Structure formats: structure tokens, C-alpha cells
Amino acid sequence: MVHHAASRRHFLQLAAGASALPWVASCASAGPAETLEGETPGSHEVRAIGQPMPRGVRLPDTPPQPRSADSVGFAVIGLGGYALHQMMPRFTRSRRAHIAALVSGNAEKAATIGAAYGVPEDARYSYDSFDEIAADDRIEAVYIVLPTGLHAEWAEKAFAAGKHVLCEKPMAMDPAECQRMIDASERAGRKLMIAYRCHFEPYNLRAMELMREDAVGDIRLIRTDQHYNAGPATPATNWRLSRALGGRGPLEDYGIYGVQSALYLSGEMPKLIGARAFQPAGDPRFTEIAAYVGTMMQFPSGAVAQLSTSYDAAGSNRALVRGVGGTLTMDPATNYDGIEMSLRTGGATEDFQLGDSTVQFAAQLDHLADAIRDGTQIKTPGEMGLRDIRLMTAIYTAAAENRLIAMNPDGTMKA
Ligand SMILES: NC(=O)c1ccc[n+]([C@@H]2O[C@H](COP(=O)([O-])OP(=O)(O)OC[C@H]3O[C@@H](n4cnc5c(N)ncnc54)[C@H](OP(=O)(O)O)[C@@H]3O)[C@@H](O)[C@H]2O)c1
């Protein structure tokens, strides 16, 4: 574990000229723009490359079967930690989705996983043979669970092959990439959904409902924290620390839950954004990205959100909404499981018991399957992913330029 005494920290106000991050100065001179022009992308090669089997993977005892005749066949692309520990085991709980194919750069791993999940050998593709999925009618949708820097490229390839796409969050590296994905989806006439699982999780759904019902009265403050301590690593050994594959900091991967919560709990888009970030000096984990990002949003109603996220602090994942008539607390707020939520109003506290949060994984698969089969509307479309990446662009710009940024309702910065 890498330790940093506070006195050794180089607190980095991401103001123009004050940062070790090359994108800061260029972003300051670029002014309000959808992309941060002229950034140095970092050291990592942006290419799909097979990785070893993650530790502790549990395989199904018997290969799962589709549960309905009209089940949608998915190709899972990228057999990493999240795919193997969380999502793939949850396909069995889906009504209408099943794993039809695998795409991996590690053939040995794909063989082991394919055998356990009953994926035939001729439905195990590599990154080189991916384009052949166009002729494979067993595959109707591609689930992209690759590092962020690869999402846009592989979504475009999937659409070119005529498949629907479920893409992990964050949608892509910048708004331009997101727009390319949306355009490719429209050109192909295929669906694009971002895997924002909290929109299918019982506690978060109830929280959205409570806020719509004014359970805490007019909202004054929203606070979210998403933190963990990244273990000893470098950008070369952990893509999340790589500017080219992971983004500019913890905001994209983990803080995105705070951004999402602030929006779906307030029901508003921010009119003003301010932000700070810092990068500890001499820490091999943070040579390319910020370790911490703090954001302030003000909404048209006057409500304020304070969001904090880092890869360099003890674990925390919580949300709080304080209104004139009460407080909603979620701690943890957006975990895979074990979410706790309470509402305090007028001296009374209600603790919610809403069942199993892990239904969120299969529910999002069914949501896309329903959209494909029945034409129902997607709750978390590419436009929502684009909106969030625009907000992140504004957050990093606010930090870089050391100013408050006035926002348009679609998440773009005002000129
Ligand atoms: N919704 C959520 O709660 C949640 C949680 C965690 C992660 N995610 C998202 O899921 C995606 C994957 O995250 P993860 O935690 O599963 O990552 P991971 O464990 O590092 O796995 C990523 C996989 O992508 C493939 N890959 C292809 N090119 C790669 C490259 N250049 N570097 C590293 N991996 C490469 C590899 O699969 P092969 O070896 O099979 O080729 C690798 O195992 C990300 O978009 C992340 O944000 C979402």
C-alpha cells in the first residue's frame, strides 16, 4: 500500500499553469469546448489486449440455459473482473437475455469460461475475429465491458456488425466519442443503452420516487462520496490510472455514481459547476490522473450538490439529501448489494427494507431485451451517457480554469 503523509502532499489546484497534468494548461487555453483539445493522452496504448484470468472467479456448476424462447443473445466483450464476478453470473436471473458468445484477447481464458457457460467453441471470438459476429445470428446484442478508452471503438464495430449495444459506464472518454457512438447506433438502426445499473436497483428507484413525492420538502443540499484506496499500481498495470484508458481521474469510474445520484435525486440539471482536483506528488499511481475530484453544483431551484470522489482515501459510497423537511441517507448508496437507506422527517426515522439489490444486474439486461423485442423506451440511453460526460468535461474545466462554469440544460458549458 502506498502511504502519503499530508505534509508530503502536493496539493494541486488544477488551475491553468499550476498542474503537473498536461491537459490542464491546454484545457485552460481552449476555453469552453466539448472536448479538451490538445491533451496529451498518456502512456498507455489504446488497444484491446487480452488479460489474465481475474482472481477468485466462480464458475457455474452447470451451463445456464436461456429462460424464454425469445431471449436475446448477448456477446460479452472483455472477460475481466466485472464481467466474470458480477454480470455473467447474473444472466441466469434474466427473463429474456442470455450469453450467446464471448469476445476476449485471452483464448485460454475464453475456453475455460466458454465451457463453463455453455458457449460453443465457434461462438468464442477474439478481438481480431470480432467482425465475423456480423454473420452470427445467435448474437443480437454486444455487452461492452472493456476499459473506457475502448468503448467507442468497439461500440462502433458492434453497430457496423448490425448488433445492439449495452455499454458499461462511463460511456466514453469525451463527448465527441459519445456522439460517434450515438450516430453509429442511429445509422445502424440498433439500440444503445448505457449500463447505469442504479436505475434498476430497488433502493435507488425508491429514493427517486421519494424525491419526486417531496419526501424531504424542497431540497437544499445533496452530498455524495465515492472513495477507495487504489492498491499499489501504475498506469501500466491498472488501466483506471491511465489517462488514455481510464480518463482524467476517479470521477469517470467511481464519482460518476455521485454525479448520477445528484441528478436523479434532485431531478434537475446544474446551472453552475465549480470543482477542485489534486494529484499527490511522487505517487506512482497518479502520474497521469488526478487522485481526488471535488465538485459543487448549483441547480435552478437553488439546491446545491457537493460531490467528492477519490482513489486515495478510505472506502466510502454514500448519498445524502437534506431538504427543508427532512433528510434521506443512503450508506452505502450505489453498491452491488447491501444498500441501506433511511428517511428522517419530523423526528421520526424510517429504515427501508426493499429486498435484494442484486436484481439490478439482470433487470438492466431485461430492460434492453424488452427494448429490442417490444420497442420500449430505454431509460439510460446514449444521450444520458453523453450528458454525464459533458458534465465531467465541465467539472474538469472548472477545476482547470479555477472558475464557476455556467451550464446549459443539456450539460454543455455556456459560451
Ligand atoms: N457498472 C458497474 O458497477 C461497474 C463496475 C466495475 C466496472 N465497470 C465497468 O466495466 C468495464 C470493465 O471494468 P473491469 O473492472 O471489468 O476491468 P478489468 O477487470 O480490468 O477487465 C477489463 C477486461 O477488458 C479486456 N481488455 C481489452 N483490452 C484491454 C486493455 N488494453 N487493458 C485492460 N483490459 C483490456 C480484458 O478482457 P480479455 O482478457 O477477455 O480480453 C480485461 O480482462 C469498465 O468500463 C468499467 O467502468 C462497471
Cell numbers 483464448: residue: 107
Residue labelled with grid coordinates 448505457: 194
pTM over 0.85: yes
244 pocket-lining for ligand 1 (C-beta < 6 Å): no
pLDDT < 50 regions, the chain: 1-20, 22-41
Catalytic residue among 157, 163, 169, 191: 169
Distance CA 252, CA 259 (A): 10
- Ligand 1 center from residue 265 Cα (angstroms): 28
Helix (H, G, I), strand (E, B) or coil at 306: strand
Q: How much distance in Å is there from the Cα of 78 to the middle of ligand 1?
A: 6
Q: Whose CA is closest to atom 6 on ligand 1? A: 82
Domains of the chain and CATH, by start: 72-197+374-380 (3.40.50.720), 199-356+386-406 (3.30.360.10)
Q: Is 126 in the pocket of ligand 1 (CB under 6 A)?
A: no
Cβ of 114 closer than 6 Å to ligand 1, yes or no, is: no
Q: Report the pLDDT value the prediction gives residue 403, as an integer from 0 to 100.
A: 97
> What is the 8-class DSSP label of residue 288?
S
Contact 26, 39 (CB under 8 A): yes
Taking CA atoms only, the protein residue closest to ligand 1 atom 22 is: 80
Q: What is the pLDDT of residue 26?
A: 30
Contacts for 128 with CB less than 8 Å, ≥ 6 apart: none
Query: Side by side, which strands form the sheet with 312-323?
Result: 348-351, 341-345, 326-330, 312-323, 219-229, 304-310, 292-298, 272-278, 405-406
Active site residue 257: yes
Indicate if ligand 1 lies below 6 Å from the C-beta of 48: yes
Residue 44's pLDDT is 64
Please tell me the predicted confidence (pLDDT) of residue 43: 54
Report angle CA 290, 294, 297 to the nearest 5 degrees.
Answer: 135
User: What pLDDT digit, counting tens, does each position of 321-337 carry?
Assistant: 999 999 999 999 999 99
Q: 94-114 burial by CB neighbour count: b if 16+ within 10 A, else e?
A: bebbbbbbbbbbbeebbeebb
Model pLDDT for residues 119-172, shown as the tens digit of each residue: 999 999 999 999 999 999 999 999 999 999 999 999 999 999 999 999 999 999
169 is catalytic: yes
